[in-house]
Amino acid sequence: MKYAIDARSVTKVYGEGDVAQRVLEGCDVQVPHGEFMMLVGPSGSGKTTLLSILGCVLRATSGEVRLFGEAITGVPENHLSRLRLSYIGFIFQGHNLLASLSAEDNVAVQLQLRGYPTKEARREARALLDRVHLAGKYHRRPAELSGGERQRVAIARAVAGAPPIILADEPTASLDAANGALVTELLRELARERGHTVVCVTHDNRIFSLADRIVRIEDGKILADHRERAA
């Protein structure tokens, strides 16, 4: 099995009939194990849609997607959510935290879903929050955190329990330079040192140099694929 993510001829059409809108057209994306890939392109070009399909959040209209060799297209819904849990950590554009839970609980719940007993889940959740510089804010609910802090909780949650594939939708958008660098370094370290496969959507040209490869999408089509892995 060569690729962590192997998507072929992926097409997505939203809506039906007169309102049908084709937003992805024949997209091929192959991501080797342990690669840190960035996906770039204009607003509305289909980045979130493609990421959601790779992350088992959304189904492709046609085409085939394999994660670690296992086909995810056409599998039943309950199986899809199991695949998502075992393979994917998703950092959503706009974070998606549970409003009624503290930062710590948002992360701990994810760990418990991944099989951690309660006590270990708490300990690990705090360690992850420490890594994104949120020590001391464990008990804050999302509404009591700044946008950038919420984003960092979402990142801690996505990497909790070490899912092999991490998909990040503009993870640095609401962060200042220092925290943006912190988060990008964390994602890169997960790829380089721990073998995670990371796909990161970004507009942030400050972080391009950290990628192994930059893939460009425009108007629902994959345009360019620059190999940028340093020697």
Type and span of the H or E element at 6: strand 3-14
Q: What letter represents residue 185's amino acid?
A: E
Specify the DSSP class assigned to residue 69.
T
179 touches Mg ion (CB under 5 A): no
In terms of CB distance, is 48 or 112 closer to Mg ion?
48
Task: Tell me how far apart the alpha carbons of residues 171 and 86 are, in angstroms, rounded to a whole number.
Answer: 21
- CB-based contact 72:17 (threshold 8 Å): no
106 touches Mg ion (CB under 5 A): no
In terms of CB distance, is 40 or 88 closer to ligand ATP?
40
Q: Hey, what are 117's tokens?
A: 């007993």
**To the nearest whole angstrom, how small is the minimum distance from the Cβ of residue 39 to Mg ion?**
10
20 binds, among ligand ATP, Mg ion, none (CB under 5 to 8 A by kind): none
Stretch that binds ligand ATP, among 13-21, 76-84, 139-147, 150-158 (CB under 6 A): 13-21
Binders of Mg ion among residues 79 to 98 (CB under 5 A) are 93
Task: Tell me how far apart the alpha carbons of residues 57 and 95 are, in angstroms, rounded to a whole number.
Answer: 15
**To the nearest whole angstrom, how small is the minimum distance from the Cβ of residue 47 to Mg ion?**
5
Between CA 15 and CA 106, with CA 51 as vertex, the angle to 5 degrees is 105
In terms of CB distance, is 103 or 154 closer to ligand ATP?
154
In terms of CB distance, is 14 or 127 closer to ligand ATP?
14
Binders of ligand ATP among residues 15 to 44 (CB under 6 A) are 15, 21, 23, 41, 43-44
Type and span of the H or E element at 53: helix 47-54
Residue 63: which residues within 8 A CB-CB, separation 6 or more? 7, 8, 9, 10, 11, 26, 27, 73
Q: Which of 29, 35, 45, 198 binds ligand ATP (CB under 6 A)?
A: 45
Q: What letter represents residue 36's amino acid?
A: F
**To the nearest whole angstrom, how small is the minimum distance from the Cβ of residue 174 to ligand ATP?**
13
Q: Which of 7, 38, 48, 89 binds Mg ion (CB under 5 A)?
A: 48
- CB-based contact 49:23 (threshold 8 Å): yes
Binders of ligand ATP among residues 70 to 129 (CB under 6 A) are 93
- Residues forming the site for Mg ion (CB under 5 A): 48, 93
